Amino acid sequence: MSEFDAIFVGAGHNSLACAAHLALKGWKTAVFERSATIGGAVQTHEYTVPGFRHDFGAMNLSLFAGSAFHRKYANELKTHGLEFAPVADCFASAFPDGRWFGVSNDLEKTASRLAGFSAADAATWRRLVAGFMPEAEHLFRLLGSPMSGRALAGTAWNLWRKKGFSDALDTGRLLLSSPRAWLEETFESPHVRTTLAAWGMHLDFAPDIAGGAVFPYLESMANQAFGMVLGEGGADTMIRALSGMVTAAGGKIVTGAEVAEITVAGGRATGVRLASGDFHIASKAVIASVAPRALTGKLLPDGSGDAGFDAAMKKFRYAPGTMMIHLALDELPDWRAGAELRQFAYVHLAPSLDAMSRTYQQAMAGMLPDEPVLVVGQPTAIDPSRAPKGKHILWVQVRMLPAEILGDAAGKIAPDRWDEVKQAYAERVLDIIESYAPGLRQKILGRAVFSPLDLERENPNLVGGDQICGSHHLAQNFLFRPARGYAGWNTPVANLHLTGAATWPGAGTGAASGYMLAQQLGGN
Ligand SMILES: Cc1cc2nc3c(=O)[nH]c(=O)nc-3n(C[C@H](O)[C@H](O)[C@H](O)COP(=O)(O)OP(=O)(O)OC[C@H]3O[C@@H](n4cnc5c(N)ncnc54)[C@H](O)[C@@H]3O)c2cc1C
């Protein structure tokens, strides 16, 4: 048995960022991770063929690069090996009619592509880009602040003071709008609307879901203004740098160490019991980076002592799942719509807003979508070091899928467990890519397929393959993430805190919940 100031359940990047800050503040910290490797959804491994390095989950590290944690600790992270690979050609969509549209960080390039679809849209884009920094100041302030009624009031006050009442209301309206509502009132080209709407599908914002407009808006404007970054050599560069910071500051990271119970005495968290039977004491804090359903009745066998909180953790809603397909390739796809698409970090394959809405609805109804939305990542177009010379990898994210399969919208795959159908479904995905990039199959040197169930096996926080650890719809976001009264990473158990994607401000690699909690506990 050892005694620490803070014990972390899980070594996702939020835990590591929190542990690094607290360790640097002199706290004795220990991070216990059930898997053999740390990083949770941010890992890089040779899943297909030796020499080809694939990001398990997150590939786009722009949120981390732009985070408050990175601003504060850029030098330390660099010392521990953090390297970004900057992306100029960020995202694009290829369409069945052979056309494509893409956003590069060069405004003239993006604007001239837009003008090919609509002169009015090109002018609108320039206007939005010009207004982005003043708008972003408020949105980033909101997303980067602890979530409380007071913080919300402060953001609203600041917004009103700087923009005036009417413009402030417009920002509020953007935050509440669905992607379709914002895109249809802003752009006239269906190709442009569709290209931007695909960003909502990275979360669980299909085009008609209220509260989703801000994601296409922020991603497209931020990519236009700043570009995007990947991790040099793999996304795990950020995990190695974070763990280096933790251990250099005296913190301990233990892998293969599943936490089976958070021990509680007198309404206060006192430590953890590992699955191995070992006990460890935490004198100041236990910080759990887990999915809410792992708490009540499991890590807290007797519950939290607050029936309302326990019920909320059980009822916490997860978003539809993801399948990941990793390919080792002889060369990049031959995109029918244009060779320039080979330069982009992401090529989205989603023909229209209606197709995205239908895919989401099919997944919600337990059906295998007939035409899932594909996010085709081409990391070696930006960072060739991830594959042997001249070779490439593809990172294919398949959105959105049911956790439990009740049927097939295409009527071809009999409903069964994911282990039984995943290869057949992966063939459907390859058929879709082939229809946009003929000859892909001949270029494949190796493949690895992770079904939604496999994602959850790798990381239990990805419940049903939900890559964002809980729906981000309005009723479960802001003051309601993970539940009303607990948006401040607190729980009814004293000294027990939650961090990670299930907590404010949600999923992504921005380390925001971990760092804000660390500042709350250990000071700035
Ligand atoms: C397929 C996929 C693609 C993504 N793409 C992007 C992207 O490109 N850009 C982006 O910004 N975001 C992306 N995301 C989202 C982002 O990666 C996650 O939101 C983020 O990494 C979650 O971090 P976290 O700190 O919440 O912890 P996680 O990464 O979820 O890690 C939690 C850790 O806790 C461990 N754990 C859980 N229970 C226990 C226990 N009882 N005992 C010990 N250990 C335990 C788990 O094994 C895991 O290692 C993606 C996610 C996925 C899955």
Give residue-wise pLDDT tens across range 104-138: 999 999 999 999 999 999 999 999 999 999 888 88
Q: Across the chain, how many H-helices and E-strands are there? A: 17, 20
- Which residue minimizes the CA distance to atom 20 of ligand 1? 508
| pLDDT band at residue 237 using 50, 70 and 90 as cut-offs | very high
Place of tokens 């408050």: 68
12 Cα–ligand 1 center, Å: 6
**How many Cα atoms occupy the beta-carbon half-sphere of 418 within 13 Å?**
20
Please name the helix (run of DSSP H) or strand (run of DSSP E) that holds residue 449, with its range, or none: strand 444-450
Tell me the pLDDT of the chain averaged across its residues: 97
Supply the pLDDT for residue 517. 98
| pLDDT band at residue 426 using 50, 70 and 90 as cut-offs | very high
Residue 438 three-state SS: coil
In degrees, to the nearest 5, what angle opens at C-alpha 127 toward C-alphas 126 and 133? 95
**Nearest residue to 395 via CA among 49, 61, 57:** 57
Supply the pLDDT for residue 297. 87
- Which residue minimizes the CA distance to atom 2 of ligand 1? 57
CA distance 325 to 322: 10
Q: Does pLDDT of 304 surpass 90? A: yes
432 Cα–ligand 1 center, Å: 28
Pocket test for ligand 1, best of 42, 298, 373 (most atoms within 8 A of CB): 42
Supply the pLDDT for residue 152. 86
41 Cα–ligand 1 center, Å: 3
Q: Which atom of ligand 1 is nearest to the CA of 324?
A: 1
Supply the pLDDT for residue 179. 98
DSSP 221-274: HHHHHH-EEEETT-THHHHHHHHHHHHHTT-EEESS--EEEEEEETTEEEEEEE
Supply the pLDDT for residue 155. 86
* Crossing angle of helices 149-176 and 214-226, rounded to 10°: 90
242 Cα–ligand 1 center, Å: 14
Supply the pLDDT for residue 71. 98
Q: Which residues of 55-81 are buried (b: 16+ CB within 10 A; e: fewer)?
A: bbbbbbbbbbbbbbbbebbeebbeebe
DSSP 356-369: HHHHHHHHHTTEEP
Q: What percent of the chain has pLDDT over 90?
A: 94
CA distance 228 to 107: 14
Supply the pLDDT for residue 296. 87
DSSP 71-88: HHHHHHHHHTT--EEEES
Q: Does pLDDT of 1 surpass 90? A: no
CB 505 within 8 A of CB 10: no
Pocket test for ligand 1, best of 37, 203, 290 (most atoms within 8 A of CB): 290
CA distances from 95 to 38, 122, 341 (A): 38, 19, 12
CA distance 119 to 189: 10
472 Cα–ligand 1 center, Å: 15
Dihedral sign of CA atoms 90, 44, 16, 467 in order: positive
End-to-end CA separation in angstroms for the chain: 31
**Nearest residue to 509 via CA among 242, 204, 197, 212:** 242
| pLDDT band at residue 154 using 50, 70 and 90 as cut-offs | confident
Supply the pLDDT for residue 48. 98
Please name the helix (run of DSSP H) or strand (run of DSSP E) that holds residue 392, with its range, or none: strand 392-401
301 Cα–ligand 1 center, Å: 24
Pocket residues for ligand 1 (CB within 6 Å)? 9-15, 32-35, 40-42, 57-60, 63, 258-259, 289-290, 322, 324, 397, 455, 459-462, 467-469, 500-501, 507-509
Write phi, then psi, for 279 (nearest 5 degrees): -110, 145
42 Cα–ligand 1 center, Å: 6
Overall average pLDDT of the 447-454 stretch: 98
**471, 477, 481, 487 alpha-carbon torsion, rounded to 10°:** 170
Pocket test for ligand 1, best of 263, 461, 489, 503 (most atoms within 8 A of CB): 461
257 Cα–ligand 1 center, Å: 17
Overall average pLDDT of the 188-204 stretch: 98
Residue 201 three-state SS: helix
CB 251 within 8 A of CB 31: yes
CA distance 332 to 65: 27
Q: What percent of the chain has pLDDT over 70?
A: 100
